[in-house]
Structure 1
Amino acid sequence: MSPVLLMFIGLALFVFGYLVYSKYLAKRVYKLDPAFKTPAHELNDGVDYVPTNKFILWGHHFTSVAGAAPIVGPAIAVIWGWLPAFLWVTLGTVFFAGMHDFGALWASTRNKGRSIGALSARYIGKRGANLFLVVIFLLLLMVIAAFAVVIKNLLISTPSAVIPTWGAIVVALLVGVAVYRMRWPLVPVTIVGVVALYALIVLGDQVPVVLPDDFLGMGPATFWILALFIYGAIASLLPVWVLLQPRDYINGVQLFIGLGLLYGAVLIATLFAADKPEIVAPMINTALPEGTPSMIPLLFVTIACGAISGFHGMVSSGTSSKQLDKEPDARFVGYFGAIGEGLLSLGTILAVIGGFRTVAEWEEVYSSFGAGGVGAFVEGGGMLMQTGIGLPASLSATVLATMAVLFAATTMDTGMRLLRFVVQEIGDAMHIRITKFPATLVVVVVGLGLTFSQGLGGDGGLRIWPLFGTTNQLMAALTLSILAVMLIRKRRNALPALLPLIFVFVMSFWAAIEQLVSFANPEQPDWLLFVLDVVIIVASIWVAVEAVIAMRKAATDPPEPEDQDASIQAVREEV
């Protein structure tokens, strides 16, 4: 079977999602109002609250939510077969992730840009909200620590990605000055910025940077980890227009072009190459390696980003809602941002099932659960690009490795900004005022402490990563429960939130219980993960009960009146 058939089916589903389902959500469910004054205008402070062009904001949102997870998750999950992964990525993006991301952005915008943690206190109850702040803290800590490890490993294994990775920061700073200070038109600035980024990729391929074993008194791994945390701390404190917005926007455009190259390579190789790519991976894998867990429920937490992800709700409510210029922009930023991540996950699946020549090659990579990952994506995608569009293998690997690094880097520093907000919210809950500098210091110290907890190689960043999938999906369920309460209060159709909520909660809670049993295995117990998993399970049960109570109350209370400034006819014309 040719991978191009899967590509077209997936693309058709994504087009349907954006043109049909997201329009229904915008008109009938969220009822977006172009006259609504967004927090970016109401609370404009030039630092976090800044009205932003929807294309630039989409770039920030897309690259922040994407990270490395929509590559890692699908590249691991195809071990169960390509069909389950394909169905969850496509249908999960259209009916789960798009609704979730779009909804979180709308909900936060309607509540002065408040985070999911703050919204849970308002719509579900304060009793569980404070406990869940701890879970949010753990989730964000997992993201920044693990992605630091992923980036560090790629910079060491693919030294040709070093120059484009760090050069992209300089390009982004110049783009920010050109757009916001010199007021240059966005299109020519975009073209020049993208050309500069790809020039850096070519330069990086020609001039790989390999650090010596002893660099400034430390090993390469230690140096890259420290450099990443220092960069992330600075980026999280700067006004969003200086680095966050332009960097994420220009990276988003460049990364979309990279995806275009990957999809184009699949099509061209299928049509014209003598050695046409074929799907060598099994549709349903019945010969799973020993130790592989059951597909249900683990598939739905292994592929989180790329189908639905609680982290997206934190980005939507943490940074994107504070920059939304007009409420109707939420459809493009939120829903199409989820589509962008779905495209990345679909591209990853195509690369890891169609980028190998034989079943034996594929089985060698997928010899155990957890194998594959970014390495399989770079290897398989590089082979497709070499076959389809003739890029040399080394340059193809550089393009894909740079894509992975830039996705991970933008998510890491956005995660640090979000974690700073969470630290401040925890301080507020304890009646302690924490300003942004001490909060950022807490984030850096705790993040580095976790990352170096198993040595200076920095692999401690993956210490609590096994909990990411379940914690992330339980966060998504929390976000959906907030949306359901808001919609019930307004007497709108809550089924688009309730149905995904039930499915995601059941699967993620089931996975959390299975993990709890494995962590308590007498032969090889992991008591740290066991205790953290217990905390997450207890918090989830608590919030679930509170959410049900809140929904029942919302259904019996008098309905909330529609906003007085809403103009439904204007909404219909706008969207």
Structure 2
Amino acid sequence: MVSFFICLIVLVVGYFTYGKFVENTFSPDDRETPAVAINDGVDYVVMPQWKLFLVQLLNIAGLGPIFGALTGAEWGPVVFLWITFGTIFAGGVHDYFSGMLSERNNGASIAEVTGTYLGNTMKNVMRVFSVILLVMVGTVFAVGPAGLVVVLFKNNGATGILTSAPFWLAIILIYYFIATFVSIDKIIGRIYPVFGICLIIMAVGVIIGTFAGGYHVPELWSHFTNMHPKHTPIWSFMFITVACGAISGFHSTQSPLMARCLKSEKQGRFVFYGAMVAEGVIALVWAAAGCAIFGGEGLVNAGGGNSTTVYEICSKTMGSVGIILAMLGVVACPITSGDTAFRSARLTLSDWLGLDQNKAKNRLILCVPLLGIGAILGFGNTFGFIDYSIIWRYFSWTNQTLAMIVLWAASMYLFMEKRNYWITVVPATFMSAVSATYFVMAPECLGLIPALKNNTLVAYPVGVIVALLFLCLFIMATKRRKNVTMQEKHA
């Protein structure tokens, strides 16, 4: 219990201290924002700061900080450290710069922003990477809440169509289509604040119920070991599993949505860094509840973070009255990330193809195929043709690799602006090691080769070498830019 509260306090203090340091490094000013300069009434719309925060929180807080944190609790309370320090020094930094760099580039999607600082080749890589990731996120965040709703109705005695996953999946996909198509302030700007309040109340209810129910949250210092029953390595499996609760590349695809709605650059720290800290708190709550109520072995036996474990935790901590509100919050999380995932995919493609999104016809041209692919993947999973867990695992690795690329882009921006780029270089190098290590030994990646599966003797050195290689490439790129600048001055 004590270690949980220490981590909670560190997260809050981190927002006011390191978050301020990051803001000062970027140096927001009073220039006209894209929301004011462009204001097309569809994607560029000025919204109040409190609403921006809640919308950003729900954009990024999908199933990740809940399912991911519960699965991360399989390793024990050591997951608290990754959630806490990952949020402060990596996730918050990543979210802030992805939002503010988009704002400085007329609200451009993250693929276009990355290309500005890392070149056209990386721009094209990021375009493909982003669209694939966003479609996977949209699919995962359609199938997941459909399953949660089914569990909720079944456990409360309902039968018939209310317990049909295909029915709820169809309803969610129809909503996604509407939310992707219409102006951002028509649906998203109106209902998200309500869901945001539910999400916050739900997190508070779960942690209070955990302590009030007599459940013991294990202390970090007395359980500072790998407690995973299958001895799955902490590095880098836990760092990939707990993505949205620490650092997530998916967030960089969402931040431009709010970058197009800022009235002032000085709102950035509260909206971007603040929402990430809030998500870290949510992940910490669910990880603590998972450790206390299930334990590592119990979570592994239950399949990690999923609809069943979430329902059990809500039931045990909040009883029959609170469970409806809690499940509403959990269902709202993925739905309010899934719709903006498809919306971000539309905007990424529109930037890529140069399609003016003021015209309804152009939005329709992009919405139909995107939601069509999501429907194929979603119903494929529902009817047993596609394994949901495989989609989730590929999403997790793609997610963290995207975060790595965005941090390198932010590093180049800071170098070009003659500012302290080490605040992004360090987490970029770290995430490079995480992604490379996981790719080498994960069962769905090179771990398909029996000799490499969970082979830490090979994966660990490769991860370090790749991270150092990327660091060297970055340093070489900065030297080239310096030389070019000097030549231009003497020309």
TM-score band, normalised by the shorter chain?
Answer: 0.7 to 0.9
Q: 2:67 aligns with which of 63, 72, 93?
A: 72
Match of 1:312 in 2: 251
Question: C-alpha displacement at 1:557, in angstroms?
Answer: 4.8
For 2:170, give the aligned amino acid.
Answer: L
Match of 1:336 in 2: 274
CA distance change for structure 1 residues 283 and 459 in 2, over 3 Å: closer, same or farther?
farther
CA distance change for structure 1 residues 463 and 441 in 2, over 3 Å: closer, same or farther?
farther
1:517 aligns with 2:474: no
2:210 & 2:49 partners in 1: Cα distance? 30
Question: Contact 2:98–2:406 (CA<8 Å) still a contact in 1?
Answer: yes
Question: Contact 1:221–1:458 (CA<8 Å) still a contact in 2?
Answer: no
1:400 aligns with 2:326: yes
CA distance change for structure 1 residues 112 and 286 in 2, over 3 Å: closer, same or farther?
closer
Match of 1:245 in 2: 189
Q: What are the Cα deviations for residues 292-345 of structure 1, in whole angstroms up to 9, with x where unaligned?
A: 53211111111110100001111112x111111110000100011001100110
Match of 1:254 in 2: 198
Q: 2:107 aligns with which of 113, 120, 123?
A: 113
Map 1:73-152 onto structure 2 (within 5 A). 73-83=68-78, 85-152=79-146
Match of 1:32 in 2: 28
Question: C-alpha displacement at 1:463, in angstroms?
Answer: 4.3
1:225 aligns with 2:225: no
Question: Contact 2:240–2:400 (CA<8 Å) still a contact in 1?
Answer: yes
For 1:367, give the aligned amino acid.
Answer: N
Map 1:153-302 onto structure 2 (within 5 A). 153-159=147-153, 210=158, 212=160, 220-266=164-210, 269=212, 276-279=214-217, 283-284=223-224, 288-290=228-230, 293-302=232-241
Question: C-alpha displacement at 1:450, in angstroms?
Answer: 1.7
Map 1:443-458 onto structure 2 (within 5 A). 443-454=370-381, 456=383
Q: Secondary structure at the match of 2:288?
A: helix
Question: Contact 2:249–2:406 (CA<8 Å) still a contact in 1?
Answer: yes
Question: C-alpha displacement at 1:15, in angstroms?
Answer: 1.8
1:325 & 1:309 partners in 2: Cα distance? 25
Match of 1:170 in 2: none
2:353 & 2:8 partners in 1: Cα distance? 45
Question: Contact 1:451–1:458 (CA<8 Å) still a contact in 2?
Answer: no
Q: What are the Cα deviations for residues 428-472 of structure 1, in whole angstroms up to 9, with x where unaligned?
A: 49xxx9921110011111111222335636865554322112111
Question: C-alpha displacement at 1:72, in angstroms?
Answer: 1.0
Question: Contact 1:67–1:411 (CA<8 Å) still a contact in 2?
Answer: yes
Q: What are the Cα deviations for residues 372-418 of structure 1, in whole angstroms up to 9, with x where unaligned?
A: 44533432344233xxxxxxx22333232221100000000000101
2:133 & 2:259 partners in 1: Cα distance? 20
Q: 2:426 aligns with which of 488, 493, 499?
A: 499
2:447 & 2:393 partners in 1: Cα distance? 11
Structure 2 gap ranges (5+):
454-466, 487-491
- The Cα RMSD (Å) is 3.0
TM-score w.r.t. length of structure 1 = 0.75
CA distance change for structure 1 residues 372 and 62 in 2, over 3 Å: closer, same or farther?
closer
Question: C-alpha displacement at 1:114, in angstroms?
Answer: 0.6
2:473 & 2:363 partners in 1: Cα distance? 31
Question: C-alpha displacement at 1:556, in angstroms?
Answer: 4.3
2:333 & 2:385 partners in 1: Cα distance? 20
Sequence identity (%): 26
Match of 1:366 in 2: 300
Question: Contact 1:259–1:347 (CA<8 Å) still a contact in 2?
Answer: yes
1:238 & 1:221 partners in 2: Cα distance? 26
2:450 & 2:321 partners in 1: Cα distance? 45
Question: Contact 2:346–2:363 (CA<8 Å) still a contact in 1?
Answer: yes
Question: Contact 2:76–2:291 (CA<8 Å) still a contact in 1?
Answer: no
Question: Contact 1:40–1:324 (CA<8 Å) still a contact in 2?
Answer: yes
Question: Contact 2:59–2:254 (CA<8 Å) still a contact in 1?
Answer: yes
1:479 aligns with 2:430: no
CA distance change for structure 1 residues 437 and 258 in 2, over 3 Å: closer, same or farther?
same
Q: Secondary structure at the match of 2:160?
A: coil
For 1:239, give the aligned amino acid.
Answer: S
CA distance change for structure 1 residues 283 and 109 in 2, over 3 Å: closer, same or farther?
same
Q: What are the Cα deviations for residues 476-516 of structure 1, in whole angstroms up to 9, with x where unaligned?
A: 11111111111100100011100000001111121112232
Match of 1:321 in 2: 259
CA distance change for structure 1 residues 558 and 437 in 2, over 3 Å: closer, same or farther?
same
1:158 & 1:241 partners in 2: Cα distance? 30
1:335 & 1:126 partners in 2: Cα distance? 28
Match of 1:7 in 2: 4
Structure 1 gap ranges (5+):
161-204, 270-274, 386-392, 525-539, 560-575
Question: Contact 1:145–1:462 (CA<8 Å) still a contact in 2?
Answer: no
Match of 1:173 in 2: none
Q: Secondary structure at the match of 1:367?
A: helix
Match of 1:176 in 2: none
2:106 & 2:480 partners in 1: Cα distance? 24
Match of 2:20 in 1: 23
For 1:7, give the aligned amino acid.
Answer: F
TM-score w.r.t. length of structure 2 = 0.87
Q: Secondary structure at the match of 2:28?
A: coil
Map 1:493-572 onto structure 2 (within 5 A). 493-515=420-442, 516-521=445-450, 550-558=477-485
Question: C-alpha displacement at 1:233, in angstroms?
Answer: 0.8
